[in-house]
């Protein structure tokens, strides 16, 4: 009798475990909907005269063809422009240009770094 009860209990446990919700990660379900090929365009720019920041980027994509550029104001005063494109499996093709002359301060203008002095509160 104990054997029958034990087998019945084991059968109920297996059936209950089979109905538990699936947990964990897996591949997303396959969709029958066709997705559109990627197509987008964007651009942004930041120009702040007070700090000297001059940044920007623009990019467009149509299926496997992507092209764009970005600019960065370098600390030496030059404006760096990076132009790039990708066509299919050709890889990332880049052209880098610099506008302006690099400016370096005279040695008298360069301040040496001095760490801040520690301050201590006295009771």
Please write the tens of the pLDDT for every residue from 39-73.
Answer: 999 999 998 888 778 899 999 999 989 999 999 98
- Does residue 110 belong to any structural domain of this protein? no
Q: Is 112 or 76 the better-scoring residue by pLDDT?
A: 76
d(CA 46, CA 96): 20
Which structural domain range is residue 73 located in?
A: 38-104
Q: For position 37, what pLDDT does the model report?
A: 87
pTM, 2 dp: 0.57
Which residue, among 46, 40, 32, 84, has the nearest Cα to 62 in the 3D structure? 40
- Does residue 27 belong to any structural domain of this protein? no
Question: Average pLDDT for residues 83-91, to the nearest whole number?
Answer: 89
pLDDT reading at 6 higher than 80: no
- Does residue 48 belong to any structural domain of this protein? yes
Confidence bin at 111 (pLDDT 50/70/90): low
What's the domain count of the chain?
Answer: 1
Query: Any idea what the Cα angle at residue 110 is, between residues 105 and 116, rounded to 5°?
Result: 150
């Amino acid at each position: 009798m104990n054997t029958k009860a034990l087998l019945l209990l084991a059968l109920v446990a297996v059936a209950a475990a089979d109905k538990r919700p699936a947990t964990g990660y897996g591949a997303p379900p396959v969709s029958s909907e066709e997705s559109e090929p990627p197509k987008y365009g964007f651009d942004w720019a930041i120009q702040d005269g007070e700090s000297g920041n001059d940044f920007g980027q623009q990019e467009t994509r149509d299926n496997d063809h992507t092209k764009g550029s970005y600019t960065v104001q370098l600390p030496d005063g030059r404006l760096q422009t990076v132009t790039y494109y990708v066509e299919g499996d050709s890889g990332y093709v880049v052209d880098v240009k610099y506008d302006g002359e690099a400016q370096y301060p005279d040695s008298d203008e360069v301040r040496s770094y001095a760490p801040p002095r520690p301050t201590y509160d006295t009771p």
